[in-house]
């Protein structure tokens, strides 16, 4: 079994909002983060393309010795995780694991709603995959799920334009489209790891008392449980508290924007895939 850091993957910067919570909860482990910024956003891409890109990145993590990779990207979790787990992982090594962000979230989401009406905001890919309604129905069959895709949000965030006045038009529009589907929605999941950066803006456009749920803490708690339940596995994750960052695009851009998502300085290395 390989010994190495835990891999954390996203199409771009969004997964840094998850890594931030994971490193706070589990600071003893080593982590490698990869943002495939050169090919982001993944949201509008086909199943086949998201699968190919994600698989290529997962193979790279394994070549770096990672025993465990977290897809800290809803789009990749929705469109590529299952196929990689079923078709590719058996050949890549039975000792390796890939986890996504959808399962841990759907396991707990029903605990937050009182009206049993939940809203999901995500990329086109995540919404079209129907991964959330399908998975939530397994854990909380009484919860009604309403979805809205927000195609402009990731490009606005990736370009650091999300706090500009122009961004409000798109944010308000998509929130209204979601709320029009049911006036009883009391819990809205930010089902894209980029969206926590919009939290303050979103609060202005949802009814008072609405719970806006980010995934970072949920995923960090779930990873902590997983490593506790699999002590042999946790032994193979190296523990020196180191975090390294890789991007498939410009390191200057990554370090500048990445720090906003991560909440701390980021120094990245370029990766040519
Ligand atoms: N952060 C990714 C997610 O959670 C999305 C972005 C993209 O469109 O690349 O879905």
* Side-chain half-sphere exposure of 8, counting CA atoms within 13 A: 28
Q: What is the pLDDT of residue 233?
A: 86
Could you report the average pLDDT of every consecutive run of 10 residues in the chain (273 residues)?
90 96 98 97 95 98 96 97 95 90 98 98 96 98 98 91 94 98 98 95 96 98 97 93 98 96 97 96
Output the pTM of the full model.
0.96
Q: What is the pLDDT of residue 94?
A: 76
Q: What is the pLDDT of residue 145?
A: 98
The CATH number of the domain covering residues in 103-215: 3.40.50.1860
Q: What is the pLDDT of residue 161?
A: 92
Residues with CB under 6 A from ligand 1: 10-12, 14, 40-43, 73-75, 123, 126, 154, 192-194
User: Alpha helix locations (H) across 30-99?
Assistant: 47-63, 74-79, 81-83, 89-92
How many Å lie between the centroid of ligand 1 and the Cα of residue 10?
Answer: 7
CA angle (247 as vertex; 159, 258 as ends), nearest 5: 45
Q: Residue 167 CA to chain centroid, in angstroms?
A: 21
Q: What is the pLDDT of residue 20?
A: 98
Domain range summary for the chain, segments of one domain joined by +: 6-100+216-270, 103-215
Q: What is the pLDDT of residue 1?
A: 57
As its CATH architecture, domain 6-100+216-270 has 3-Layer(aba) Sandwich (3.40)
**Is it true that 6-100+216-270 and 103-215 share their CATH fold?**
yes
Concerning whether 57 is annotated as a catalytic residue, the answer is no
How many Å lie between the centroid of ligand 1 and the Cα of residue 40?
Answer: 8
């Amino acid at each position: 079994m390989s010994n190495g850091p835990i891999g954390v993957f996203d199409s771009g910067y969004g997964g840094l909002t998850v890594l931030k919570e994971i490193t706070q909860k589990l600071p003893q482990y080593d982590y490698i983060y990869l943002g495939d910024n050169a090919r982001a956003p993944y949201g509008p891409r086909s199943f086949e393309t998201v699968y190919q890109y994600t698989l290529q990145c997962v193979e790279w993590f394994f070549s770096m010795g990672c025993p465990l990779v977290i897809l800290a990207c809803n789009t990749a979790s929705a469109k590529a995780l299952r196929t990689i787990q079923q078709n590719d992982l058996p050949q890549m090594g039975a000792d390796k694991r890939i986890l996504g962000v959808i399962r841990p979230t759907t396991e707990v989401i029903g605990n937050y709603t009182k009206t049993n009406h939940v809203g999901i905001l995500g990329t086109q890919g995540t919404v079209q995959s129907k991964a959330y309604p399908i998975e939530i129905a397994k854990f909380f069959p009484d919860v009604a799920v309403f979805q809205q895709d927000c195609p402009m949000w990731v490009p606005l965030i990736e370009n650091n334009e999300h706090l500009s006045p122009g961004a409000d038009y798109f944010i308000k529009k998509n929130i209204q489209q979601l709320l029009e589907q049911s006036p009883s929605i009391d819990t809205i999941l930010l089902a894209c790891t980029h969206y926590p950066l919009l939290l303050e803006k979103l609060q202005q456009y949802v009814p008072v008392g609405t719970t806006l749920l980010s995934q970072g803490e949920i995923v960090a708690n779930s990873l902590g449980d997983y490593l506790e339940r699999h002590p042999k596995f946790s032994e193979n994750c190296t523990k020196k508290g180191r975090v390294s960052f890789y991007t498939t695009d410009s390191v200057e851009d990554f370090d500048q924007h990445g720090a906003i998502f991560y909440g701390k300085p980021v120094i990245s290395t370029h990766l040519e895939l």
